[in-house]
Amino acid sequence: MDSIMKPYLDKTFLGREIRGFIAGEFDVETCRQLVELWEGPVGRKFVNTQVQLLTTGNAPQLEFTADEEAIMKRFEQTPAAQAFARGMPVVMEKIADFTKDTKEKIDRKRDEELARRREGPSGR
């Protein structure tokens, strides 16, 4: 069953899909500023904590240093942050639809694989 789910859980596949949802909602400059934030120390810390939570079900409390707090406060005042706040409901809806669609694809592949196994080798 791992072979059925693996293509849909591939980080490259997921990243490409989610990047497309985000890029579709924001202009180039906003995307550039979002990337700058997420690839910086604040974003990396946040993403690493989220990945740990999603993969293990447990993560430490997210705590920022004073410098990281200052970075976030500055970012919150930018047009990119305001655009992000306005656009995220649409992005989250797209991610929810993508998740539902992906689950349906996995379920369909699983059902096909189970049916194939029940039938046994061809020619019987």
Q: Could you state, in order of their start, the residue ranges of all structural domains in the chain?
A: 27-113
pLDDT value of position 83: 92
Lowest-confidence segment of 10-19, 33-42, 45-54, 75-84 by average pLDDT:
10-19
Lowest-confidence segment of 13-22, 46-55, 106-115 by average pLDDT:
13-22
Residue 26's pLDDT band (boundaries 50, 70, 90)? confident
pLDDT value of position 20: 78
Q: For 76-120, what is each residue's pLDDT tens digit?
A: 999 999 998 998 888 888 878 888 888 888 888 888 888 988 887
DSSP output for the chain? -HHHHHHHH-HHHHHHHHHHHHHTTS-HHHHHHHHHHHHSHHHHHHHHHHHHHHHHS--------HHHHHHHHHHHTSHHHHHHHHHHHHHHHHHHHHHHHHHHHHHHHHHHHHHHHHH-STT-
Q: Please say if the pLDDT value at position 124 is more than 60.
A: no
